[in-house]
Structure 1
Amino acid sequence: MAFGSRTAAPGKHRGSSRLSRKTAGYAGIAALATTGVVATIAAPAFAADNNGHSAEDTGQNSIVVADGLQADLQDQVDSQQRAAEAIAVQAQAEADAKQRAAEAKRTAEAAEAKAKSERDAAERAARDEERKRLNAYVAPITGSYVSTNYGAGGGMWASGSHTGIDFHADSGTTVHAVGAGTIVEAGWGGAYGNNVVIRHNDGTYTQYGHMSSLSVSVGQTVGAGEQIGLSGNTGNSSGAHLHFEARSGATYGTDINPLAYLRSHGVDV
């Protein structure tokens, strides 16, 4: 049998030698290093050459890359977290500001409503007081009494009967307007002597006769209880007193019962 070079089995090719594989691995690592790319694929080549016991086979390259990526990711997470916290703080501040503004608005509206209510109440009270003043009636002589009734007969009166009532009063006693109104007559009135006639707000009239002096003039407005003069004994009078009449109109002959008139306005006589 001849000795010579061995011939490979037909159809088969021998794999590259171990040296060739290692050389190719080093070349690949060098190429990656040249391009600045550090990857974990270098580790298997070193592992193949050192039967899995070399330092390159510990996976340190992969750990370094992973740690770098993890740190970057953590920084990004931290940054996003800080941004989210800042947004939350701003949103809370805006919500607090809106709440304070709403509370301030409610407080201002409540204060304005209270002030308006107080103004309205004061205005109503003033109107009520004015209404009472305008509608109030008093007796023409304070603490007096009727000495001659309405309709009494006698020759002292031109109509044959008394057209008013007489209140007992010494000369110089204060005479009051029985209600609010306007003076339409103030001066000498013939048989009535010094007299005053008032047109009241309800359209009725009252007359005050035989006074010693007057303290009002035509066109003047008066309130209930306001002094209009002093009682006396002027005109067709038999002694000091106040002649008081109530009328439905401005002229003589429109007289109405003075007692009923005063009582209908709440005056106790």
Structure 2
Amino acid sequence: MAFTRATGKHRAPNRITCKGASAAGFATLTATGVIGSLASPALAADSGTEAATHAGLTQVIAIGDAVAGAVDDQAEAQRHAAEKAERLKAEAAARAAAKAEAERKAEARAKELREERERAARAEERKRLGTFQLPVAGSYVTTGYHSGGSLWSSGSHSGVDFRAASGTSVVAAGAGTVVEAGWGGSYGNNIVLRMTDGTYTQYGHLSSIGVSVGQSVTPGQQIGLSGATGNVTGPHLHFEARTSADYGSDMDPVAYLRTHGVAV
């Protein structure tokens, strides 16, 4: 008995037909969104992974930027701190230098003032020591220089006599050093001074002597008291100016005193 193959749905599709159907079905499923629906979880997973990956990269980049910014800020802060420290150091050095300069100037000025005071004191001392005055304050000459008479062994007066009552203060006519103090023969009690200018002055007929040899005296300092010792007719002060300490080197006492600014 012979069989014939029936047509219709019972016929097995050939490979090409199946493939075509499969392709058509895939197209249909794709068109209807079934595959898209079925595939969406996987695609979503892939998309999520990619998004997460992108998010991680963004986060890393953001952290990197933040770290770089922090490093830059720290470097800038350190730079500012270093500049500030350097500026403060320079300012401190400048203040120290200014202070040292001020102290140097103050010290120099103080030294200058001291020197000025010392110069003024020395000048005042020289002036004081260089001044002369009458050996008897307010007195006057009663017997002049080179007056003649038998009272003097040389025949003339080797000095001048100043009026002075016994016990009147006799002072140094100027600054000097005592080179003689004691009995002087016809001069009685006498004192001889070597003056600071190298000349000599003599004070005779004293009732008392108040200085000793080697002693320094200043102008106006009391050296004794007037009297009438030696070859005299009454109390007075015999005053001589000499070029040396020895008798016979006399010079005009009035001219001598006037040369030194004393009104006689």
How would you bin the TM-score normalised by the shorter chain? 0.7 to 0.9
Distance 2:182 2:64 in 1: 117
1:119 matched to 2:114? The reply is yes
1:138 matched to 2:133? The reply is yes
Structure with the larger helix share: 2
Runs of 4+ more than 6 Å apart:
none
Measured on the aligned residues, the alpha-carbon RMSD in Å equals 2.4
Bigger Cα displacement from structure 2, 173-182 vs 59-68: 59-68
SS in structure 2 of the partner of residue 197 of structure 1: strand
Deviations 1:104-142 (A, max 9, x none): 212221221122122212321232233223322111000
SS in structure 2 of the partner of residue 213 of structure 1: strand
- State the one-letter code of the partner of 1:204: T
Distance 2:180 2:75 in 1: 96
1:241 matched to 2:243? The reply is no
Bigger Cα displacement from structure 2, 75-84 vs 131-140: 131-140
Q: 205, 208, 215: which one pairs with 2:200?
A: 205
Distance 1:224 1:130 in 2: 11
Q: Could you say which residue in structure 1 is the equivalent of 2:223?
A: 228
Deviations 1:222-250 (A, max 9, x none): 11111111111111111111110001112
1:99 matched to 2:90? The reply is no
Q: Could you say which residue in structure 2 is the equivalent of 1:77?
A: 72
- How many residues get paired? 221
SS in structure 2 of the partner of residue 150 of structure 1: coil
1:60: how far off? Answer: 4.6
Distance 1:124 1:81 in 2: 63
SS in structure 1 of the partner of residue 190 of structure 2: strand
SS in structure 1 of the partner of residue 240 of structure 2: strand
Distance 1:136 1:171 in 2: 26
Q: 234, 245, 248: which one pairs with 1:250?
A: 245
SS in structure 2 of the partner of residue 153 of structure 1: coil
Distance 2:88 2:157 in 1: 89
Q: Could you say which residue in structure 2 is the equivalent of 1:156?
A: 151
Distance 1:250 1:61 in 2: 123
TM-score (norm 1): 0.75
Structure 1, unmatched stretches of 5+, are 6-49
TM-score (norm 2): 0.76
Deviations 1:175-221 (A, max 9, x none): 00111112111111111111111111222111111111111122222
Distance 1:60 1:219 in 2: 115
Identical aligned residues as a percent:
53
1:168 matched to 2:163? The reply is yes
Distance 2:58 2:178 in 1: 116
Larger Rg: 2
Structure 2, unmatched stretches of 5+, are 1-15, 17-42
Q: 243, 252, 256: which one pairs with 1:261?
A: 256
